[in-house]
Structure 1
């Protein structure tokens, strides 16, 4: 089983999300057997959405963990907020979001939100390999 962890902070939010995406791509490129291009793109998209949500709503820092299982990739993002993501109607007029969590739930085979004993939560998504 392959795994990696990346700390992400909001000192440069867009840059921080880019670092998370780049880290995910590097992790995925090192897997054997390699993921199909479409599956890798889906993992990177889920990483981007979960890290963006964690930085925006979870206290400004987060940790991304990626784990490769024989038939799946687990994306887990830990942040400092106990508040679970929620489904809401996407904002098509003002552009305040609402697309990320529904998208993650459509792409993943399973999602979970777990409160951490040390505070905050972990939001995880399991994606087919």
Structure 2
């Protein structure tokens, strides 16, 4: 894969669909495999939907494709960190961070003055 960084829409109004389309463009330019595209789009959907639902919206978004990995970065306004919740058949949701950590085991959070950025690196198989 050749290095490629998206030119993100940094508005708080970024939707999951816009973020996925942005990621699709980057991955298409890199001829990424269909399984990698599916995994990246899943991570993008989880991170962006959580930023919109729980953290005041997306304040930054970037997808970087380079040899061996694709990195997804999503920033939001909340200082609250994601956490693994115990699975419960009686409580809907709560699986997003588990999904992200499964697809991008080294995912981490960088806190900053205006909120946080979640960085998830997915291996390019």
TM-score band by shorter chain is 0.7 to 0.9
Instruction: Tell me the CA shift for residue 69 of structure 1.
Output: 1.8
Give the alignment's TM-score, normalised by structure 2. 0.87
2:29 — aligned with what?
A: 30
Displacement of 1:79: 0.7
TM-score (norm 1): 0.84
**5 Å matches for 1:1-129?**
1-4=3-6, 5-7=8-10, 9-10=12-13, 16-31=15-30, 34-95=31-92, 97-116=93-112, 118-129=113-124
Question: Runs of 4 or more off by more than 6 Å in structure 1?
Answer: none
**Paired residues, number:** 121
Q: CA RMSD in A?
A: 1.8
Displacement of 1:91 after TM fit? Answer: 4.7
Distance 1:91 1:20, change over 3 A: farther
- C-alpha displacement of 1:19: 1.3
**Gapped regions of structure 1 (runs ≥ 5):** none
- TM-aligned CA distance change 1:121 to 1:70, over 3 Å: same
Cα distance in 1 between the residues matched to 2:63 and 2:10: 12
Superposition deviation, residue 63 in structure 1:
1.9
The whole-number CA distance in structure 2 between the counterparts of 1:127 and 1:27 is 14
**Structure 2 CA distance for aligned equivalents of residues 62 and 56 of structure 1:** 13
Unaligned ranges ≥5, structure 2: none
Q: Distance in 2 between matches of 1:98 and 1:58?
A: 15
Check the 8 A contact 2:16/2:49 in 1, yes or no: yes
